[in-house]
Amino acid sequence: MYAYDTYDHAMVNARVAEFRDQVERRVKGELTEDEFKPLRLMNGLYLQLHAYMLRVAIPYGTLSANQMRTLAHIARKYDKGYSHFTTRQNVQFNWPKLSETPDILQELADVEMHAIQTSGNCIRNVTTDQFAGATADEVADPRPYAELIRQWSTFHPEFSFLPRKFKIAITGAKQDRAAVKWHDIGLVVKENAAGDIGFEVLAGGGMGRTPLIAKPMRDFLPVEDLLSYLEAMLRVYNEQGRRDNKYKARIKILVDAMGIEEYTRQVEAEWEKIRHIPIDVPAAEVARIKSFFAPPPLAVLADEVPDVDDLAQKNFIFKSWLANNTGSHKVPGYVNVTISLKPHGGIPGDASDEQMDLVADLADSYSQSEIRVSHEQNLILPHVARRDLPALWSKLDAAGLGSPNAGLLTDIIACPGLDYCALANTRSIPIAQSITERFDDLKRLMDIGPLKIKISGCINSCGHHHAGHIGILGVDRKGTENYQLLLGGSGAEDASKAEILGPGLDEHGIVDAIEKVVAVYLGEREDGEEFLSAYRRLGADIFKEAVYGTH
Amino acid sequence: MALINLTSIQPTGYTVLDDGAVPGEGENVAIGVDRLLHEGDAFFATAGSVGVIIDTETPFAKLTQIVEKIGFAIVDFPAFADGRGFSLAVRLRKDFGFKGEIRATGPVIPDQALFLLRAGFDTVETTDARKPAFEAALERFPAFYQTDFGGQLSVAHARHTQGGQITEEQRLSRKAPERQREAS
């Protein structure tokens, strides 16, 4: 993974010193809260319902074992012994003291981490495929390009006070696990006929109260033009994006209003003017960054491991875990392991300090000291030898980290909701807990198969409900919590927007409704047909009848 | 009011001209974009250096006909978070090759000092109380990831500068150039 040089270190250390000074000036009253707010936000510090919340960047979701240990240490020393992994592959601490946040940032800087631009109206953490560099189905590892974008977008002199936040996602695989079409800018790594690497460029996706799927701008942008093209995209947005209404300020609204053709025309005209000035970096710099992401030296091993098969024969839970939580690797004999942070009845995405320490130790033993965070709020150990799976699983299972439900109905994305968030209308976590308790039967879950439930406690959509096969949106109805049910969304390469099925339901009714929706699916599915395909074939009416019908 | 000089330029003293008022002989004046576009030769013959006050609603294309008429430019921020001001300065430097003074006015904050310098601003008008914080902010960062309009090369390029004019040590110990600061 990427390692800081003296420049990178100097910059994060300067940033910590700067924030320490800003906190002192705020405490002394030299900065008003209005002035301090964007500064603290650009260091990831939010004011939530009960306390400050610090959001720490995990660039493109890649962590070392030592970095994970530092996160565990921070959870122990400065927080209440846990942290929360988010849908932007970041991690949040819910209870830091304002006066201690500079110390936390310094502890992070010491292990090459930061909270820079994890909030505020600037370019946020670039997200990518959690299996990047390790999956069998990718054109190229997207992380070197994500790092290139991280550096270019950090403290950008022109794009640090945008109309609104700005999110970029990049995938290198055909199967889109990074939801690139739901981003302000989506990039898909491609290889052209000559064997050169480039990007398909999409713009104008986003969730919130106006969900829109990104539209294609360019089929192939060469690597050497990446940053100048992004610069042109951001400049047109910075100049023309709306600033009169924060709900209309994202690039999706601009692109929708001017049309993708006109936006593309303006961007390309600007790009032609700037592509020859030193925005794009020398080829040697791309090569330098790439060298940090060289595949680990893995000796090819046998895919067939009798011990693994024996245990799977005897133990249905291990068999399920093997089927759901391990995925194919580039190198024979290896897999990528998803550690589910979705125990039934638990809080999606939360991990305790002991669990984080354990994952760090397991990464040292089994996954080249590397850990990933997925936007689905799980942890990943890449590059695990298949023969190590029984030992790894038993250690995870003993720590409450062995849930075999990755990709199943109970692998729910949920925002923090009204339990933490100042913006929320409703709670999200208790709904996720009720659903996982209702669907606690593993055999039934395995029978239902891949099904993504995503829950947001307000229209801001942090829980990605628009992209859920089943989405749940919490709304406030005359002072009571009410939940809308949406069906048919997708965050994958076949991105689609979930549609509201009917009137909202209360917190019990929404769980009953999911049961009914699943029953329709099980009754109507064709051989091997997954939920989303069945929904698309059947249409909404039959589900509507089941949930709201009077007979 | 204090004037922060980001680039050691010789700052222009000027009067903001009221609507309808005319400049005195050789007087440095600043007027809005629309008025500037309508003033004839007599105006420019009388005035000394003429500056344009650009509000952030101004589309950059409108500056095309302006740059050749002005000696200095003032970008007026209605709010510090209105990032269009940064793009306006970049456009003046990059698209129109403007070499004169670019000044920031309005409620910009000290923590934006380096952003302003790097986007192409020379000077900032601020309150006296904020002067020390502005000066401290200018010294804060030793390097940046972007090549900028303050003349600094990006780290990405500096890393690969052959026999470079700037060594890594020099860059990291780099102090901002001695800056003149004066009250206005």
Q: What is the DSSP string of A419-447?
A: GT-SS-SS-SHHHHHHHHHHT--HHHHHH
Which of A6, A151, A162 shows the shortest C-beta gap to B83? A162
| A272 and chain B in contact, CB less than 8 A | no
Residue A403 belongs to some domain of the structure: no
On whether both A367 and A458 belong to a single domain, the answer is no
The predicted structure's pLDDT at residue A488: 98
For A146-177, b/e burial (b = at least 16 CB within 10 A) is bbbbbbbbbbbbbbbbbbbbbbbbbbbbeebb
Distance from CA of B142 to the nearest CA of A (A): 7
Structure tokens at A441: 């039967």
**Is A418 in the same domain as A544?**
yes
CATH, residue A438 = 3.30.413.10
In one-letter notation, the amino acid at residue A401 is L
- Supply the ipTM of this predicted assembly: 0.94
Domain count along chain A: 4
Are the CB atoms for B128 and B157 separated by under 8 Å? Answer: no
Structure tokens at A26: 């705020």
Q: What is the mean pLDDT of the segment spanning A242-256?
A: 97
Same domain flag for A195 and A322 = no
Contact with chain B for residue A35, Cβ under 8 A: yes
Q: Is the pLDDT confidence value at B183 over 70?
A: no
- The reply to whether A365 falls in a domain is yes
Taking each helix axis as running N to C, give the angle between helix A541-548 and helix A531-538, from 0 to 180 degrees, rounded to the nearest 10: 100
**Interchain pair B145, A273: CB under 8 A:** no
User: What pLDDT does residue B162 have?
Assistant: 61
Please give the residue of chain A at the shortest CA–CA distance from B84: A239
Q: Does A134 map to a domain? A: no
Q: Which of residues 18-47 of B touch A (CB under 8 A)?
A: none
Q: Measured between CB atoms, does A136 come within 8 Å of chain B?
A: no
Please identify, in words, the CATH class of the domain defined by B2-175.
alpha beta
Residues A373 and A440 in one domain: no
Shared-domain flag, residues A151 and A215: yes
Provide the pLDDT for residue A551.
Answer: 54
The helix (run of H) or strand (run of E) holding residue A273 is helix A260-274
Pairing of strands A470-477, A480-487: antiparallel
Question: Which of A262, A292, A322 corresponds to the end of one domain?
Answer: A292
Q: Do B95 and A163 touch (CB under 8 A)?
A: no
Most B CBs within 10 A among A158, A226, A230, A243, hence the mutation to make, goes to A158
- Residue B173: what pLDDT? 37
pLDDT at A196 over 90: yes
Q: Is A18 within 8 Å of B60 when comparing Cβ atoms?
A: no
Domain assignment present for A77: yes
Interface contact A157-B111, CB threshold 8 A = no
User: Is A128 a domain residue?
Assistant: no
Looking at the fold, whether A160 and A264 belong to one and the same domain comes out as: yes
Q: What percent of chain A has pLDDT over 70?
A: 100
Domain containing A544 equals 413-548
With respect to residue A120, please indicate whether it lies within any of the assigned structural domains.
no
How would residue B161 be classed by pLDDT, with cut points 50, 70 and 90? confident
* Contact across the interface for A238 and B80, Cβ inside 8 Å: no
Share of chain B above pLDDT 70, in %: 88
In chain A, residues with a C-beta closer than 8 Å to the C-beta of B159 are: 5, 7, 284-285, 288
Distance from CA of B93 to the nearest CA of A (A): 12
The C-alpha of B174 sits at a distance from chain A's nearest C-alpha, in angstroms, of 12
Task: Check A284 against B160: CB less than 8 A apart.
Answer: yes
CA distance A129 to A543: 32
| Residue B151, pLDDT score | 81
- Phi-psi domain of A400 (left: phi exceeds 0; alpha: psi -120 through 50; beta: other): left
Q: Which residue of A has its CA nearest to B114?
A: A157
B153 touches chain A (CB under 8 A): yes
Residue B65: what pLDDT? Answer: 85
Statement to judge: residues A391 and A439 lie in one domain:
no
Predicted confidence (pLDDT) per residue in A305-323, tens digit: 999 999 999 999 999 999 9
A160–chain B nearest CA distance, Å: 7
Are A153 and A274 part of one and the same domain? yes
- Residue-wise pLDDT tens digits, A143-180: 999 999 999 999 999 999 999 999 999 999 999 999 99
Residues A438 and A315 in one domain: no
Mutate to test the interface with B, among A2, A235, A239 (most CBs of B within 10 A): A239
Residue A185 lies in a domain: yes
- Phi first, then psi: give them for residue A535, nearest 5 degrees: -60, -45
| CA-based nearest distance B14→chain A, Å | 27
Query: Which residues in chain A are contacts of B84 at CB distance < 8 A?
Result: 238-239, 243
Which residues 176-235 of A have a C-beta within 8 angstroms of B? 235
Instruction: With CA atoms as reference, report the closest residue to B112 among B140, B78, B92, B88.
Output: B140
Domain layout of chain B by residue ranges: 2-175
Residues A447 and A501 both lie in one domain: yes
- pTM to 2 decimal places: 0.94
Q: Indicate if A485 and A371 belong to the same structural domain.
A: no
Structure tokens at B31: 């007027």
**Domain presence at residue A91:** yes
Residue whose tokens read 């007979």: A551
Q: Is the same domain home to A470 and A529?
A: yes
Domain at A334, CATH number:
3.90.480.20
